[in-house]
Amino acid sequence: MTIFAQFATAFGLGRAGKAPGTIASLVALVIAIPVMWLTGWMGMMALALITTLFGVWVADGYFIEVDKDDPQDCVIDEFAGQWLTCAIGGLAAMPGDPALSWGGFVLAFLLFRLFDIAKPWLVKKAENLRGGLGIMADDVVAGIFAGVVVFLFAYSGFI
């Protein structure tokens, strides 16, 4: 397995049977919880941005390797999008409370998957970009949309 394949598929996680995007998002969420508790939304945002930038390069290399527009087993984009959702939602955390509530994490997962699968207007438009940028862009936009909704729910005290 090449370096591009290793990172793009999250070391083979993307090749795990059915619903690799959902499985990757769930693993990303499990990682996000302690990261947010330890570093708050800023640490989560840094991880999401680093993963996004690295992911564009990795996904582009993988795109060239497999010669597919958006290979289903490429799941690094799910990590970036899920982490971005959590980071944006975490902006509403009270001072001294660095993370989302348990309900906030669940909502972040559900909304990110909803926006990623349903692909509303801008998410669908972002998906039309080519190469690694296109592979990453739709999940980043879905993460932003989901994160804003989570933020609104958290800020209003619903979660």
Cα separation, 41 vs 130, in Å, equals 30
pLDDT in tens, 105-131: 999 999 999 999 999 999 989 988 989
| pLDDT over 80 (residue 12) | yes
pTM of the model: 0.95
